[in-house]
Amino acid sequence: MRLDLSGDWVYVDNLSTATLKVEGQSDVTLPECVLDEPYTLRELEPTGAAVLRHGTVFVWPRQFSSAPPIGSTVVDNEDTYWTVWKLVRKQHIEYWEPFCLNLSIVTADENTATVLRAVYGKGAANEAVAQWRGLWSGLCEAQDEDTVAARFQPSEEQARLEFGGESSREVYRVYFKDPVPIDLAGGEYRLVDSDGNRFRVMKYFQENRIDRLPVAIAERITEGREYHG
């Protein structure tokens, strides 16, 4: 005898409405049929609790949607966007149980980065000279639209002795809330923090992961024309 528990859902209290968003498909409304567990909150990276990972589990009857694909989005009744990173089909009962993540950077003035891109002109000796402009505005004076949510986290500092002089090499890990150009480390870009410090990107990775934020390895510029000018 097969035990059918699918009808028990109508007796569950405190069900909510959510929206399932799948790229390339129409949104699916899940009307008052979603049970969501209390979400967890923890530090995603060692950043002084500035980069956070929220997690929760949703449950709803299979009759309301097809299987939510990994990487799709569930929007809850508080308009929070959750990314599906694992899916369980419950045995003996016809429900979907997607485990979802919401990765965030704490909103603060210091948790921002301005992205610049080089536009080349000619110098006095006919050499190529980079002029740094806002990536999206294209202006010499970068605008708000060129600023993204990001966390500059000091990673390493090394002393350098060159030609009788002493300096330091400061390396940071920069976490981004949303992806930025994939060729960020190509030498054509600069990052500027909220204090006006400029950074050269040495490496950029984790662009397409749904369980990690994109991150750049960047070196603070402390010499040369960019620093003094």
**This prediction's pTM:** 0.84
DSSP the chain: -----GGGGGG-SS-EEEEEE-TTS--EEEEEEEEEPPPEEEESSSSSS-EEEEEEEEEEEGGG-SPPPTT-EEE-TT--EEEEEEEEE-SSS-EEEEEEEEEEE---TTSEEEEEEEEEEE-TTS-EEEEEEETTT--SS--GGGEEEEEEEEEEEEEEEETTEEEEEEEEEEEESS---TTTTSSSEEEE-TT--EEEEEEEE-TT-SSS--EEEEEE--SHHHHH-
pLDDT in tens, the chain (229 residues): 444 445 554 545 678 999 999 999 999 999 988 988 878 999 998 999 999 999 999 999 999 999 999 999 999 999 999 999 999 987 677 889 999 999 999 999 999 999 999 998 777 777 778 889 999 999 999 999 999 999 999 988 777 666 666 667 899 999 999 988 888 987 899 999 999 999 999 999 988 889 999 999 999 998 777 766 6
How far is Cα 39 from Cα 100, in angstroms, rounded to an integer? Answer: 9
Domains of the chain are 6-105 (2.40.10), 112-228 (2.40.10)
CA 151 to chain centre: 10
